[in-house]
Amino acid sequence: MPPREGIYGMLAEFNTPSELVYATQEAHRAGYRRMECYTPYPVEEAAEALHFHKTRVPMVCLIGGLMGVTTAFLMETWINVWAYPLNIAGRPLFSWPAFIIPAYEWTILFAGFSAALGMIALNGLPQLYHPVFNAPNFRNGATTDKFFLCLEAVDPKFSLSETRTFLEQFPAVSVVEVDH
């Protein structure tokens, strides 16, 4: 049975992080793949239970660093060889050892900016609205002392009744539908 139009998923509320981690591990074993945990502080075991290990931020940072070093070398070469050549004491116009320190600085600058902006973009920020804010118990407990597991409706295994039954087998304080 496909979920009804306008439902985002099912949200289960737990009192302890260990209950959340256990429910997340069991949901993954049951075949759910589109799920998210919401905690008031980082819970590393929850990230492992979600199998959240891959991120593209290091690749974005590497590409930004390579763009920085390339930009610096090309800019210094263009300025010193073609745009404004200066013959100082017979030294060569293309003196690459002098280019290393500015190129290094540009590498760090571009890598830092690309890491920060890449992280923001890959996290989908700024996101001013999220459907879990529609859950009645989410706003009061998500930032203080409650732990939440949301099984999303876009998951192929998601069924409104079966997912509710699945989440109710755990020691959840409540299981609610999340509307879009």
The string of pLDDT tens digits covering residues 122-155 is 988 988 888 998 888 888 778 888 999 999 999 9
Residue 102 pLDDT class (50, 70, 90 cuts) = very high
- In this predicted structure, the answer to whether residue 98 has a pLDDT above a threshold of 70 is yes
Q: How large is the average pLDDT for residues 45-66?
A: 92
CATH 1.10.155, applies to 7-52+132-179: no
pTM of the model: 0.74
Residue 77 pLDDT class (50, 70, 90 cuts) = very high
Contacts from 99-107 at CB under 8 Å and sequence distance 24+?
A: 99/72, 99/73, 102/72, 102/76, 103/68, 103/69, 103/72, 103/73, 103/76, 104/69, 105/72, 106/68, 106/69, 106/71, 106/72, 107/65, 107/66, 107/68, 107/69, 107/72
Residue 31 pLDDT class (50, 70, 90 cuts) = very high
Q: Which residue has the tokens 């116009």?
A: 93
- The residues spanned by each domain of the chain are 7-52+132-179, 57-122
Strand order in the sheet with 147-152: 35-38, 147-152, 7-14, 174-179
- In this predicted structure, the answer to whether residue 2 has a pLDDT above a threshold of 90 is no
Burial class of residue 109 in the structure, from the number of CB atoms within 10 Å of its CB (0-12 exposed, 13-18 middle, 19+ buried) = middle
Residue 4 pLDDT class (50, 70, 90 cuts) = low
Q: Indicate the helix (H) or strand (E) that contains 175.
A: strand 174-179
| AA identity, residue 77 | T
Cα–Cα distance, 16 to 29 (Å, whole number): 20
Question: Please, are residues 74 and 94 in contact by the beta-carbon 8 Å criterion?
Answer: no
Summary mean pLDDT of the chain: 92
